[in-house]
Amino acid sequence: MTDLAPLTASNIKARHGFFGRAGGVSTGLYRGLNCGFGSGDEAKDVAANRARVAAAMGLAPDHLATVYQTHSPDVLTVTTAHVHQDVPKADAMVTKMRGVGLAILTADCAPILLCDESAGIIGAAHAGWRGAFSGVIENTVTAMKAIGANTISAAIGPTISQANYEVDDKFRDTFLADDDRNDRFFVAGSKPGHCQFDLPAFVAAKLEAAGVAAIHDVAACTYADEEQFFSFRRATHRDEPDYGRNISVVVLAP
């Protein structure tokens, strides 16, 4: 767990943590703290791993809120303490409720945890390139402001780094067609017709443009650090049949 310094203001206290593989019960391809029910891992092991995460964040297991992530720009405002099995489709959540952990699953995409200390409002977003490109970051900030947020801070968790994120020129062209300034997020690749994309930098730029006051990137690469993190792209390159999911959580203390 990478647990950044708690955010505090008056009687508001938020905790946030980026969890990797350490401390879990899963075995095989999912060795460690796999928190993805969408993987082929044993459901009982995923549940045990999530219970460990909840306990580490000071929560009951049924107070760990997740969504069915689809790489969309959609944001859910969480208004109920108890989390049920039928999770809605979305790629971000915001809340002002205390004692509810907003949890995002990733395996190369960027997990973003957000907080307005003074207002007591938190958010969590899953930002792969599709979600980040289509507006999930801006929509999360807007949803936080809709329930009273003003000065928002954000932390970007473990994400695939530019050195390990090869894309083709068609991918780059999509970004340049939207804004030619996006060229700064690409460098030449090792083979013709390819380049390297800097997803964490793109996410940080989106946060800044949305008016986020402070942005911190933990600068950890999911692809490069196999001992610490699960990675979809690493598993794909190795022709492995599946992969585990990392989890990131933010919570307002009850």
Q: Using alpha carbons only, what angle is made at residue 58 by residues 91 and 124, rounded to the nearest 5 degrees?
A: 15
DSSP letters, 70-101, are: -S-S-EEE---SSPPSSPPB-SEEEE--TT-E
Give the DSSP H/E element, type plus range, for residue 138: helix 136-146
Give the DSSP H/E element, type plus range, for residue 237: helix 232-237
- Tell me the per-residue pLDDT of 121-167, one tens digit each, with 9 for 90 and over: 999 999 999 999 999 999 999 999 999 999 999 999 999 999 999 99
Per-residue pLDDT for 88 more than 60?
A: yes
Indicate the residue type of 157.
G
Q: What CA–CA distance (Å, rounded) separates 15 from 251?
A: 5
Q: What CA–CA distance (Å, rounded) separates 52 from 26?
A: 12
Residues near 65 by Cβ (< 8 Å), separated by ≥ 6? 78, 83, 93, 95, 100, 101, 102, 103
CATH classification (class only), 2-161+198-252:
alpha beta
Indicate the residue type of 1.
M
- Tell me the per-residue pLDDT of 9-41, one tens digit each, with 9 for 90 and over: 345 689 999 999 999 999 999 999 999 999 999
pTM of the model: 0.94
